[in-house]
Amino acid sequence: MAFGEFDLIDTYFTQRSKQRPDVVIGVGDDGAVVSLPERSELVIVTDTMVADVHFDSDTPARALGHKIVAVNLSDLAAMGAEPAWISLAVTLPEVDHEWLTDFAAGLREICDYYGCQLIGGDTTQGPLSLTVTAHGVVPAGSAIKRAGARPGDWIYLSGPLGDAGLALAARQQKVKLTNEHYKRVTDRLYFPSPRVALGQSLRGIASSAIDISDGLAADLGHIIKASGVGARVTLEAVPLSLPLTESVSQERALELALVSGDDYELCFTVPEARRGVFDTLIAHSPTKPICIGRITSETGKLKLELEGEPWELPEAGNGFQHFSQRK
Ligand SMILES: [Mg+2]
């Protein structure tokens, strides 16, 4: 079978997918054409995943199809955008029918679930590498940025951290898990859930937001740097999952939560003046974000505290830190 890009994209990726009415021209022409709602802006994100760099080569194809879309939708969620269209560039060592069928199924399932449509793509031959560009829509001027946090704002997390890092540590036999825990954390590593609905509901409420792809310490670090502020985090408030707390010490659980990344929860800040509106919003939401600290005026300082005492991240090379996802 030839590596004709339209053959592959058309055969595996566009059939049986849900179609959006705003796609004027989809796959099959030199470019896609879409219509935008009035007074809206486009948010565009791109993420690449390379075999043996961002994922192990034995990762199931269906998981890869899900995840390459999920990581992009997570970036859209952090911007408060509604996902609309994606394009896909895939480099494959060979045309493997079974692999492509499973990969396309994973990709289609998550696209259909979040109502976004594949509108173009390219396939080439080479070492396995996946790139998705996702396009989302926001009302003009309403995208949530990293740069809006102000001293006094409350810091929230959308859900528990550390499961993806725990799954990696278990796969590398650095920690032993029960079958049930292993299955649960591997699911979180392979099939992350981008916080799409929450991200959109934070428009006009959150002063800044980011998704946790590199670990809380690094990603909250991006917010304070972009905003020119500092942050104080109460570590006992950081949500940790049952598999994590039941499998490793509190010290290591916190380390995984802070540095391992790949969790795709949202970290965001809410000004005191909008806290009431926010509490009302989450009272009716299936996601229950948790307050983990407060923005300070100490520019560039990320202060971690456990039970009132300062807490330092272990040096790189100790504990789990070096088992975190390679970047
Ligand atoms: Mg991101």
Q: Which CATH number fits domain 5-139: 3.40.50.300, 3.50.50.60, 3.30.1330.10, 3.40.50.150?
A: 3.30.1330.10
- Which residues does 138 contact at the CB level (< 8 Å), separation at least 6? 40, 41, 43, 79, 80, 81, 82, 203
Q: Which residues, chain by chain, have CB under 5 Å from ion ligand 1?
A: 75, 211, 213
Predicted confidence (pLDDT) at residue 6 exceeds the cutoff of 60: no
* Residue 323 · residue 257 · CB < 8 Å: no
pLDDT tens digits for range 78-87: 999 999 999 9
- Rounded to whole angstroms, the Cα distance separating 142 from 158 reads 20
pLDDT tens digits for range 43-93: 999 999 999 999 998 999 999 999 999 999 999 999 999 999 999 999 999
Total-model pTM: 0.93
- State the distance from the centre of ligand 1 to the C-alpha of 78, rounded, in angstroms: 7
- State the distance from the centre of ligand 1 to the C-alpha of 224, rounded, in angstroms: 15
pLDDT tens digits for range 186-226: 999 999 999 999 999 999 999 999 999 999 999 999 999 99
**Highest CATH level, class, for 146-312:** alpha beta
- State the distance from the centre of ligand 1 to the C-alpha of 28, rounded, in angstroms: 30
**124-134 as b/e, with b when 16 or more CB fall inside 10 Å?**
eeeebbbbbbb
- Rounded to whole angstroms, the Cα distance separating 158 from 136 reads 20
pLDDT tens digits for range 253-311: 999 999 988 999 999 999 999 999 999 999 988 889 999 999 999 999 999 999 999 99
- State the distance from the centre of ligand 1 to the C-alpha of 149, rounded, in angstroms: 16
Binding-site positions for Mg(2+) read 30, 46-47, 75, 122, 211, 214
- State the distance from the centre of ligand 1 to the C-alpha of 76, rounded, in angstroms: 8
Boundaries of every domain in the chain: 5-139, 146-312
